[in-house]
Structure 1
Amino acid sequence: MKNIKFNEMNISNEIKRAIEEKGYEEATSIQTRTIEPILNGLDLLGLAQTGTGKTAAFAIPIIERVDKEDYSIQTIILCPTRELVLQTCEEIATLIKYKEGIRIAAIYGGQQIEKQIFLLKKKPQIIVGTPGRIMDHLRRRTIRLNNIKTIVLDEADEMLNMGFREDLDVILKDANVDRQTILFSATMSKDIKSIAKTYQNNPVFIEVEHKAINMPKIKQYYIEINESKKIELLDRIVSSLDTKLGLVFCNTKKRVDDLTTALQLRGYSVLALHGALRQSARDSVLKKFRTNKLQLLVATDVAARGIDVNDIEVVFNYDVPIDNEYYIHRIGRTGRAGKEGISITFITSREYGRLKHIEKYTNTKIEKFVIPSVDHVISTKINKLLSGALSSNISEYTKYVEDFLEQNDDITISDIAYYLIDTQMGNINKEEIDTINSNDVRMFINFGKMDKINKSKLENIIIENASITKKDITNIELFDKFSFFNIPLELSEEVLKNLNNAVYNNRKIALEISTGRPSKKTYQNKNNDRSFGSRRNRTHKDNDKRKKLPKIDIKNNVDMI
């Protein structure tokens, strides 16, 4: 199925305006196939990896279905971790920017429950939360599910791995039986099938397949760098590699324009390519790029489609692509016609988890790139300048140089060369560029307090199964059913390999890199999520009748944690 543009979708102008401001033009595969059935009130089972754009895939139709005149909770979105809860809320907040009267709240463990009770009194229609904390509110009767119209289980397989099956059963049984149930998972396990069979009504099944890439001619690298240092880093690498033809990808039109302007101010021959350009301007830009009249082209993913140039030496992912499939399309622009190519992805500290998802999706190891030193950049520029002089026909100027030297005995030919080199070098930032100071990775493990684990025991489990020392394990946080800890980045691959599927107390260990990198502040409240007593057994009835929610425009405040 061909991906469609957002402006062609049957969604409100307010949503289209918000999406346009984010700079996105075309829906991803999961968004193209998911938005319409959810808009129509159908249950949906989506098999999709992280990084496919699935949050917007369910958020857009859910927002459109909200009855702004109804102040009860209409949608609950369940996520496995605090990080994903906050990311989902942030995504929804940007989408409802021009939708007045819609309120959302984030409900997760580790935050004072009194603050969440206060926010719930403001009557949010959409709640995003972790299963355990939702259960806590159900026990306190601060959340009721009798009027729920939609429940979303995002990354359901992760919630099961973290031991939330009983909580999910209670929540789904307790909710309004005439609701819409949407489930997303990266894998199709027996438990996922069981949940779908028990709680969904003839769900639409959508699977986004991913392909392992076979691009041996492309050397794939990443650099972890602060956002503020990206432009300086790009400048340095382009100079160091002596790039003659490079392609730079950004996620939005605004980012493309801003970066293009910054590179032009640094003296590069560079133009922008995105969906806002008229066809004549687009054709002109592409012609210049194909004929090597540009050194760099900065583009969005959609605009870059159709670029067929065999001489692109390097592809820069200035922004991490929003869709894993985009990564494949991007780097495939280099290494063509039997030539070797390089791809370099810039990531910030919070995007390390995204990089790991891309590696898993493409079944490819992306190596760390060594940032070139100032000396290397200067040496490359001087060699290029001198090589150009040797290949040029300068005999017609010999007489003038000789006359000048005769008139100035204290000046040598070397002095002239040094001066000319200095004038041609331009301004070079002599400061070295540092990568992110923190080299730690945040890890998630499926053991917690309910497994009678304390910090010392958790350290012993890790040390006994991986070749690391106690001092390598930091910032341990224990919750009832899972825990987090930090380890050095260079040890992460070995720890993942050795600990995953190891056994403790007759139970397999599940270890993975947390989607968010560790922050300096830890949770202030460690009272995490516990399930409560059984509720009446109420499963989802087979019922094809779906209620259409009226769209009534009233003014109200958007409320978000």
Structure 2
Amino acid sequence: MMNFDDFNISDEIKNAIGDMGFEKTTPIQEMAIPLGLAGRDITGQAQTGSGKTIAFAIPVLEKLFIPDRSPQSIILCPTRELCLQVADEISKLGKYVKKLKVLAVYGGQPIGKQTRVLKKGVHIVVGTPGRVIDHIERGNLNLIGVESVVLDEADEMLDMGFRDDIETILKSTPRQRQTMLFSATMPTEIRKIAKNYQNNPKFIKVSNKKENIPKITQHAFMTNHKYKFDDLTKLFEVYAIKSALIFCNTKKGVDFVFKRLKKNGYSSEALHGDMTQKTRDRVMNKFRNGNVSFLVATDVAARGLDISNLDFIVNYDVAQNYDSYIHRIGRTARAGKSGCALTLVSKEDFANFNNINKQSKGKITQKKIPSDAEIENIKLNRILDDSLNSIKIDNLEKYIKIIKKKSSADISSEKIAAALLRKLGEN
């Protein structure tokens, strides 16, 4: 891996990168940044969380002419959430670039506020396709001076039906522009866009070297649809899950799981497309801030959702296809961390699961739902392991004295320890 200092970039951006805590590049950054700085069109295949925002943001920022306050770069993202993340990251990267203006435009926010900022002048617009089109049609956004276009999470934008909007936007920009396209997968539709709207693009892909694959433990559990929810809560016990993102295939399924979790005392929220943007923002912020433990969501609602330190993904319903499965489990194991993906498979899910399992090439381990007795044993052993670790690191003299005082010929310290273990296991 290279250092960012190895690139021919401005001191302002180097200083900002240092403030952000980055030294070494990720694989996609090492491949994309030199090409981007050279003005090449790029088609990049990389998963969410691979560091691609920095990969395209550095070339975009280096190309800007700050005295010109008309839009010089347009970055398209599938969701409001991702727009805000990308705009925030670019702003951090450009914090030492004086008078830089970056604006996120998206649905769900009053258009008047965005219009006023656009009229004052911005250098970079980060937007969802629908709202960008809206501003173009209202005369608020003129892309005639755009020098670089970025399509971020292109496959998700196509999945959400934005193809026509993307093409309309691309046609509104100059033919002599730099176009950088990034996508987790490369279906035929993405390749068509690359062919029609890019100029001799360089295709780059993060290699599947072992060190670049997220450290995600993947398990699947066969279940009966009738007992699926009960098996879900058993997995909470087995893996000591305190927080998780739970995927269902339908809004109806999301509501069912959410209501059952609430009824059983679990701190949870639901997220699906029928909610207003304001409600979705509130729910996502609660989950991100740790104010709610379990978020139950559909694939579309969770797009663009980036949560740091998310250890568990649970597929209550098996994903419809392998690409969707990869998008789901990619929400964990960010930035080199490890994560765990658990999938419940009922009879109705066999066809989809078998297809996903085949494409995963053996990465999904099939396991049995433990019995109640096995779960109790797992919990007791976990308590014992924690206790043994406490012996190594904690000062236990006060507690040893209490145990000695209570023990006798009839009541040994072993019996007291066993009674304490039983009490803790019942909680």
TM-score, normalised on structure 1?
0.45
Does the Cα contact within 8 Å between 1:444 and 1:512 map onto a contact in 2?
no
Deviation at residue 20 of structure 1 after TM alignment? 1.3
User: Residues 121-520 of structure 1: matches in 2 within 5 Å?
Assistant: 121-211=119-209, 325=212, 358=214, 364=218, 439=243, 441=245, 459-460=251-252, 462=253, 468=257, 471=260, 474-478=270-274, 486-487=295-296, 493-497=314-318, 500-501=320-321, 513=328
Structure 1 counterpart of 2:19, from 2, 18, 21: 21
User: CA 1:43–1:475 in 2, change beyond 3 Å: closer, same or farther?
Assistant: closer
User: CA 1:12–1:368 in 2, change beyond 3 Å: closer, same or farther?
Assistant: farther
User: 1:515 and 1:131 mapped to 2: Cα distance?
Assistant: 24
User: 1:364 and 1:496 mapped to 2: Cα distance?
Assistant: 15
2:9 aligned residue: 11
Q: Which digits, 9 at most, give the CA deviation of each residue in 1:139-195, with x for residues without a partner? A: 211112222111100110111111111111111122211111110011111001100
1:527 aligned residue: none
Q: Which digits, 9 at most, give the CA deviation of each residue in 1:235-255, with x for residues without a partner? A: xxxxxxxxxxxxxxxxxxxxx
Deviation at residue 475 of structure 1 after TM alignment? 4.5
Does the Cα contact within 8 Å between 1:443 and 1:511 map onto a contact in 2?
no
1:112 aligned residue: 110
2:35 aligned residue: 37
User: 1:371 and 1:195 mapped to 2: Cα distance?
Assistant: 43
User: 2:123 and 2:184 mapped to 1: Cα distance?
Assistant: 27
2:394 aligned residue: none
Does the Cα contact within 8 Å between 2:179 and 2:198 map onto a contact in 1?
yes
User: 1:22 and 1:171 mapped to 2: Cα distance?
Assistant: 32
Does the Cα contact within 8 Å between 1:443 and 1:514 map onto a contact in 2?
no
| Bigger Rg, which one | 1
Does the Cα contact within 8 Å between 1:500 and 1:509 map onto a contact in 2?
yes
Tell me which protein shows more helix as a share of its residues. Answer: 2
Does the Cα contact within 8 Å between 2:247 and 2:317 map onto a contact in 1?
no
User: CA 1:443–1:365 in 2, change beyond 3 Å: closer, same or farther?
Assistant: closer
Q: Which digits, 9 at most, give the CA deviation of each residue in 1:187-220, with x for residues without a partner? A: 1110011000000000111111224x5xxxxxxx
User: 2:201 and 2:104 mapped to 1: Cα distance?
Assistant: 27
Amino acid at match of 1:478: D
User: Residues 83-94 of structure 1: matches in 2 within 5 Å?
Assistant: 83-94=81-92
User: CA 1:478–1:97 in 2, change beyond 3 Å: closer, same or farther?
Assistant: same
User: 2:219 and 2:270 mapped to 1: Cα distance?
Assistant: 26
Amino acid at match of 1:487: V
Does the Cα contact within 8 Å between 2:248 and 2:296 map onto a contact in 1?
no
User: CA 1:122–1:149 in 2, change beyond 3 Å: closer, same or farther?
Assistant: same
User: 1:40 and 1:112 mapped to 2: Cα distance?
Assistant: 38
SS at match of 1:73: coil
Q: Which digits, 9 at most, give the CA deviation of each residue in 1:310-342, with x for residues without a partner? A: xxxxxxxxxxxxxx83xx6xxxxxxxxxxxxxx
User: CA 1:491–1:64 in 2, change beyond 3 Å: closer, same or farther?
Assistant: closer
2:56 aligned residue: 58
SS at match of 1:142: coil
User: 1:365 and 1:53 mapped to 2: Cα distance?
Assistant: 27
RMSD value over aligned CA atoms?
A: 3.9
Does the Cα contact within 8 Å between 2:4 and 2:24 map onto a contact in 1?
yes
Where in structure 2 are there 5+ consecutive unaligned residues?
Answer: 221-234, 262-268, 284-294, 298-309, 333-427
User: CA 1:189–1:516 in 2, change beyond 3 Å: closer, same or farther?
Assistant: closer
User: 1:66 and 1:18 mapped to 2: Cα distance?
Assistant: 16
Does the Cα contact within 8 Å between 2:258 and 2:270 map onto a contact in 1?
no
Amino acid at match of 1:126: I
Aligned pair count reads 285
Higher relative contact order, structure no. (Cα contacts within 8 Å, ≥ 6 residues apart): 1
Deviation at residue 54 of structure 1 after TM alignment? 0.7
User: 1:93 and 1:509 mapped to 2: Cα distance?
Assistant: 30
